[in-house]
Amino acid sequence: MLTNAEVHPTIPAVDLERARKFYEGTLGLKVLKTDASPGVLMQAGGGTSLYIFKRGATKADHTAASFTATDVAATVSALRAKGVVFEEVNIPEAGIRTVDGVAELGGAHAAWFKDTEGNILSITDM
C-alpha cells in the first residue's frame, strides 16, 4: 500500500521563527509555504520536504530526520563553518563511534547534530 509513497518528516519547534531561520539560513532549505497551524513547509532535495510546526517542548532521543549527502565530511565542515555543532557519539554495542563528528558504518558515513529546538538530525551517505 505505501511501497512507493514518499515520506516527509515533521519536526516540532517551540520557537517556530528561530527554527525557520536555522533550516532556511543555516541548512539552506527553501520555504515552500507557511500555514496557520502554525507551520512551515521546507523544500529539501530530490522532491522531498520537511514540515516544521509550532508545538510545546518535546524530547526525542532519536534521529528525527536524515539528510543524504555525497560527502558527509565536507558537509560537516561546511555546516561547522555556519556554527553547527556536531555530536560526538560512542555506542560500542552498536559499533558506532564518531571521529571528528563523523562515524563510519560499514562503508557508509553518518554525522549527527541538533537543530535550534533540540531535535536530532543526521547527514548520511547511505
Nearest to 113 by CA among 90, 80, 78: 80
Domain contains 94? yes
Domains held by the chain: number: 1
Does 58 have pLDDT greater than 90? no
pLDDT tens for 79-105 read 999 999 999 999 999 889 999 999 999
The full DSSP string for 3-30 is: TT-----EEEESSHHHHHHIIIIIS-PE
Domain contains 71? yes
In the chain, helix, strand, coil percent, each to 5? 20, 40, 40
Q: Check residue 21 and give its pLDDT.
A: 97
Instruction: Report the percent of the chain where pLDDT is more than 70.
Output: 100
CATH of the domain at 55: 3.10.180.10
45 pLDDT band, cuts 50/70/90, is very high
Q: Check residue 35 and give its pLDDT.
A: 94
pLDDT tens for 8-31 read 999 999 999 999 999 999 999 999
Domain range enclosing 64? 10-124
CB 112 within 8 A of CB 66: no
Q: Tell me the average pLDDT across 42-53.
A: 94
Domain contains 113? yes
Per DSSP, what are the bridge partners of residue 105? 108
DSSP state for residue 56 in the 8-state scheme: S
Q: Check residue 3 and give its pLDDT.
A: 82
Domain contains 1? no
Domain contains 75? yes
Domain contains 2? no
Domain contains 5? no
Domain contains 74? yes
